[in-house]
Structures are given as C-alpha cells and as structure tokens.
A and B are shown apart, each in its own frame.
Chain A
Amino acid sequence: MDETLAVDLRQITKQFGTTLANDHVNFQVRKGEIHALLGENGAGKSTVMCMLSGVYRPTSGEILLNGAVARIHSPKDAVKLGVGMVFQNFRLVPSLTAAENIVLGETHQVWRTKAWMARKTAEIEALATRFGLPFNAGRQVWQLSVGEQQRVEIVKTLYRGAELIILDEPTSVLTPGEADQLFVTLQQLRSEGKTVILTTHKLKEVMAVADRISVMRKGKMLATLDRSATDEREVARLMVGQDRQEPRPRKARLKGPTLLDMRNLVVIGDHGRHALEDFHMTIHEGEIVGIAGVAGNGQKELAEVLAGLRMWKSGTITFRDTKWKGASVRHSIESGISHVPENRMKSGLAGSLGSVDNLLVKSYRTPARSKMGFLRHAENRLWSQGLVEQFDVKTAHLDAPVHHMSGGNQQKLLFAREIHQRPHLMVAVHPSQGLDVGATDGVHNLLMTLRDEGKSVLLISEDLDELLLLSDRIVVLFGGRVMGEVTHDAADREHLGMMMAGVV
C-alpha cells in the first residue's frame, strides 16, 4: 500500500458495447503533482477521467485513492472521496448566479436566507481569491465569459473539498492568455497540496505545466514519463507511434481574382451592441486569411454573417461577383461557403443521430444525396462510410449516436463534412479544436491543399501558432474593427499581440 499515491488504477478495463475504451490500464498519480494524460483522439483519456469521477464504472479492475480501494459508484461518491471534475462542456445552470451554482446540491441547508447566501458568497469569493480564480460570484452564469465559467467550475470542486482535481481538455476553450492564467492557478493548487490531472493536445502546455506525463494509445497505457527527462518530440512519437507528419511545404501563392469583398459592414451582435463596425475585408481565390483577435471582438458575428445566419445592418458583401441581398443559410451553402462553427455539439452536430445523418446536414439537398425529395439511402451510407474512413473518424458503427464518439472524432466528422465538397470559401472557427497532434497536422494539410487548389479559407483562431503557420495574411480584429493586417512573411508575434490588445 502506497500512501504517496493519490490515484492508483489497477488493470482497469472499460467496455462500451463492442468498443474497448480502456484495456487493462494501470495509472498512478502522486499526491501533489500535476499529471498530464495524453493520447490520440479516442485513446480513452476521457473514459479514465469519467471513471475517477464516478460517471462511468469500470467493467473490471480496481481504483485506489490515497492507498485505499475506493468504491466510486456515482459522482456523489467521487465528491465524498475528494475527487472533483471539470468537464469540457461545463455543467452550470445559466440562469443562476455563480455562487448559487456552487452551493447547488448542498442538502443540509434547507432555508436559503439572504444572510446565509451572503455568507456563502463571501466564503466562495475568499476561496476564489486564494487560488487566483477571479469572477463575480453574484453574476448570472450566462453573463460570464467561458474562462470565467471554467473558474466557477474549478471553485465548485474546491468548495466541495476536492483534493484531486480533474480537468478534461481545459485549454481547448480558452484564449492563450486565459490558458496562461489557468496554469498559474494549477501551480497554486499544487503548492497547497492538491493533485491535478489534466488532458490537452497541446504539447507546449504539457511541457510548461506538468510534472509527469502519461501517454495512452488505443485504450492502453503506454508509459509514464518525468517531464524533466523527456521532450516534446519523444512524447509526440509515443502518442502517435511514429514521427510527426512533415508540414506541407508552402507553395508560392498566385494571387487569384477577388472572391469576397466586404465593405463598410456594420453588424449588430446578440446583445444589441455593434459587433462589427465599418468593417472592410477582401479575400482572393487561393489564399488563407487568418483572423486574429481576442474572443468577443466580432469574430463570431463575422463567421455567422458569411454562413448566412446573421443579417448585417449596413454595408455591402460581394461574393463571386454577386452582391448579397440578405442573409440566407441556404444561399450561403449553395454558393459554396462551408462553416465549421466554434461549438461543435451546440450548433454543428446532432448528438443523438448517427454519422450518416450528421454528414448529410449540408449536402442532403444535392442531387447526389437525394432524388425528388427522397434520400438515396444506400448511396448515402456508402458515401458516409467512405468519408469516415478517409478522415479516420473512429466510431463503433455508422448508426452509433455521435455523442458516444470521443471529442476529437466528433470534430473530425464535422471537418470532413465541411471540407469534402471543396467549398469556394471555408469559414473555419478553431478547426483543430480538440484534435490530437496527428489529426491537427492532417487538418492543416487539408486546408493548405484547399488553398493550393485555388479555394480560400477564412481561419478564425485564437491560436497564434496555427494562424502564423497557415495564413497568407492575418487580419487583426479589435472592438469590431480591423486593427491592421500583416502578410505571412512579415508577421511578427509581438506586433500581432499588440494589435490584438488594441494598442497599435
């Protein structure tokens, strides 16, 4: 019995139907360390975490917490044993305040008087300040940014007395600045003796924050390494089983004719304020234009206008020499604009439907997919099977609901749907979100191929590395206006950062 281990998984196996998600996994986490769990999409990382937090129960094997066999039969048991989990899609009630969300489920207090709530709010705020997790506890959750909501989730686990904090892909929804702040918090947690397990697909982050690293592949645990004794390259090779794909060499660009021209655009956002103000942008055929900017500076609205989801107030949009009259999703789809939305499960995919139905979303009206109002059932299955194989989407079978797929595989399915028709313009918002290194390289190469074929991409991302790697030009948005524009060769990280902050 080893008292220094916060977590000790012994021969854990988890089976979903015919899928072996975890195959005799041994996994040890020491007390007071930050432990990164890595692996390709579908390797079984989320499954391990869900078993620790009582969402799933292992098919076989033993879980030991702090040296003792633990019976974790429900999330409640996990909380009692001091395990707290922050899921990727947060589980907060939007209409309640942050403080109310945190005390939710506290059963020993029936009467929630004002005084009691005030006391609790103070307690929560003290806890939040101690760990450097600032948010306004009296605000309703829907008014908080994604980063703040994540802090609420973390404070919630601490408030419930968690000693082990599990975070599933915490940085995939954060801006780089917010991610840095999260790492400071994690270090603070460690210094107070808490244990942290997290997953991420960004190796840089792992190297920056983790003490030890465990790598999984295809449901099996491969190795646990000390951060100080390894490097990015070794970890990547372990994860993928081979060296990384070489990035596609950037071909010289032939500047094509104008594809999209937006002038004097004014767009009203959800809360009635101007999201885009006097916005100008031109995209030529055969180029990748990156949009850099801190989230909430009009990127979302820009993507929605192009996808036909949002009307603009004034200004003109000309696409392939045709002036747009109004916003229409069907018109956008039919004129060859595809859209990878920022939140795949909210607006991209229908979780309870299978792969075929989800792949059909954009193309079911085309003659290849349906005839005289009837879907071509057999052809569509064959076509879906082809896409699933081509894009390496791992799913138990074509009819399995997509919410059973791992996060990265959902993203691959969505990306496959949007790119396979060779759109004239692909509006991609965080296209590699949740993808492992290999799949990210794959997505990057596909976008470059699209560009080399003379098609165009509007790449909206908060990941400067991705923008710098792919974009022919980067346009910086600040407060709904264009702050500036740089070409691929002249792009300079520092200068971009200043523009994103609205300084230059």
Chain B
Amino acid sequence: MNQRGKFRLEIDPSGKESPWWVTVLAVVLAFGLVAVFIAATGKNPGAVYAKMLGGAFGTEFGLTETLVKAIPLMLCGLGVSLAYRIQVWNIGAEGQFVAGALAATAVTIYLPGLPFWIALPLMLTVGMLAGAVWGLFTALPKVLFNVNELIISLMLNYVALLALDFFVFGPWRDPAGMNFPGTRPFTAEESLPVLGATRLHFGLILGLLAVALAAAFVKTTRWGYELRLIGANPEAARHAGINIRGHIVVVMLLSGGLAGIAGMAEVSGVTHRLLYGISPGYGYTAIIVAWIARLNPFGIVVSAVLFGGLIVGGYSVQTLGLPSSISSLLQGSVLFFLIAGSILGKVRVRWN
C-alpha cells in the first residue's frame, strides 16, 4: 500500500446532494479566510473570535439579543426555503419583510387606539398578507409569462425599500421626532409581549411555531409530497398530474407571508415604530441561513441562531476597534464556500 493511500477522494457522479461535512467545512473555511483579514489589521483573530462568541452567547443580554436577531432570520429563512424546495429562486424576502412591516405599521397609523387583542392579530394578519402579496408579485409574472423570478424578486426589494423611505420621510413621519425618519412610537397595546426585562419578544414563538408547522406539513401531507416531487424531478411531477404553476403561486404566497410576519414582528416587537432602514439585510442573510440548513426546517432554527449570533458578535467586536461589517464579511465567505462546496460535494472522502 502506498504512503498517501490512507485517505482517498472519489467522485460520485450520482451524488446530487452534497454531504453534511461540506456545510461544516464551508463554515470553517469562511472563518479561516476572514481570520486572514483580521490578522492583516494587526489583531489576533483568535481573540476577535473569542470576543464575538462571548458577545453573542456568553451573557444573558448577548444571548437574548442573538435570539432577537434570529427571529426574522428564522421566519424569512423558512420562507425562502419553501420556495427553494421547488426550485423557485426567491431572493425577495427583504422586500416581503419590509412590506409586512409597512402594512403592520399602517394599522397603528390609520386605526390608532385599538385594544391589544384587536390590534396585534390585525397587525399580524395584514403584515402577513402584505408579504404574501409581495410574493405573489413575483409568482404571477413567473407562471403567466415565464419571467425569471430572480430578477423580479430582486427588483421588488427596491420597490419595497423605496416605499419605506417614502412613508418614513413623508406622510408617516413622527412630527415629535425632531426630523428623525420614523413613525410615532407604537403604544403598549400595539407591541408584542416581551420576556421579562429583555427585548426577546413573542415573535420567537411565532417563528418556532411556523417551523414546526412547515416541517409537519411537508413531511406528512399530500401537498408536501407534491413539493418534494416537484423539487426532485419537475418532469415526473408533470407526469403525475401535479399543477406546478399552482404550487409556485401557493409557495410564493407562503414564502412572502412568512417574511411579512417577520416584518410585523420586528416593528411590533423590537423597534416599536417603523424606521428608516428597518432591516439590516435580514432578507438576504436568510438566503444563507436556508442553504446552511440545507432547507431543513429544524436546521433553519439552528442556522438562524448561529447567524443571529454572528450579527450580535459583530457588534461586540466594535469595542476592539473593528467594524461590525466583519459579520457581513463572514456571511459572504460562508455563502461563497457553500456554493463552491456544492460542486466539490460530489467528491467523497474514503478511508482506506
């Protein structure tokens, strides 16, 4: 036996799914790559990562903040994962999130003074519907005219963000806000309940509930089976008499609706008003969250918490004199290595 024959690589052409270790490796490589950049600024990468870890998970404050960030990631990530299951490349969670936030805020603006038991369910419903409609705007051109959903959903993000700017700088600006681009603060009746003295709000329960429901439905229902079949082989699904266009519409309504709920939960649970730049890119990060989890609903809970931690950890290293954009750098690298890994994933490591 030759010396280097302990490990060997093997190409499995039938392997459509990359093995789990590709995901882990992608994360490890991303941290390795960013370590080079940190080292280039003269800092010790190990210390920086330790600080991030401590900041995100080491204290009760850090942990609840991490979970607060994980809520929108979880909801948006679950939403896009449903679309990705049937190969609809929805990258419009950002816009759907903003649409939900706008609609929920509209309730507080136009119907002020409602009791919480009307205000909150109403905000949740219109937020979800607005996100769903935003998703529908992507689905309809796709199923009717075969327009590429990547382009429409991306464009609709800008439409939603510009609408947000219009309202917070224009008609909805709080007159008492000293020219600050935001609405008046929500009343307690319009705010989601929080856990004790933390900022962790009811949205976490909504998110976990959505994940559990989605997982159960995909696994046990006929609808979920149809999604699986479309995802695995659309041509076989057509031969089974499955209405693929109908599924695209329904899935985009759900996908947008989930992001809409996230938008509602963010304004009602965290910021308590609609703000300029309400989302630090949750809708985009959610795409990575979904892929890291390989579209598995429970995996999305884990990866959403990890990415929430990444964002919070990014803030905590600011005290070391590093910009918080370090977390964006990490996110981008993870995605890069994941995509590379899905190609290299056909290679199997064998132990001789």
* Interface of A toward B, CB cutoff 8 Å: 55-57, 73-75, 307-309, 328-330, 332-333, 339, 341, 346-353, 357, 360-362, 364-365, 370, 373-375, 377, 401, 403-404
Contacts and interface: CB of A to CB of B under 8 A. Distances in A.
A269 B12 CA distance: 37
B228 A361 contact: no
B8 A375 contact: no
14 contacts: A73-B8, A73-B9, A309-B239, A330-B241, A347-B235, A347-B239, A350-B232, A350-B236, A357-B229, A362-B240, A364-B225, A375-B220, A401-B14, A404-B14
Given A333-B241, A370-B222, A375-B221, A350 B10 contact: no
Contacts, number: 83
Given A349-B233, A352-B17, A352-B232, A361 B240 contact: yes
Contacts of B17: 352
Given A365-B222, A374-B220, A403-B14, A353 B232 contact: yes
B238 interface: yes
A329 B240 CA distance: 7
Interface string B3-25: 00000111111101100000000
A352 B17 CA distance: 8
B37 interface: no
Contacts of A346: 235
Contacts of B180: none
A362 B233 CA distance: 14
B221 A328 contact: no
B229 A350 contact: yes
Nearest to B17: A352
Across the A-B interface, give the 10 residue pairs with the lowest CB-CB distance, nearest first: A329-B241, A350-B232, A330-B241, A350-B233, A347-B235, A361-B240, A352-B232, A350-B236, A353-B232, A352-B16
A357 B228 CA distance: 9
B238 A57 contact: no
Contacts of A308: 241
B166 interface: no
A377 B218 CA distance: 13
B225 A328 contact: no
B116 interface: no
Nearest to A357: B228
A339 B228 contact: no
A89 to B, nearest CB: 11
Contacts of A401: 14, 16
Interface in B34-75: none
A383 to B, nearest CB: 15
Nearest to B226: A364
A362 B236 CA distance: 10
Contact of A329 (B220, B229, B238): B238
Interface string B315-352: 00000000000000000000000000000000000100
B239 A375 contact: no
Interface in B201-227: 220-223, 225
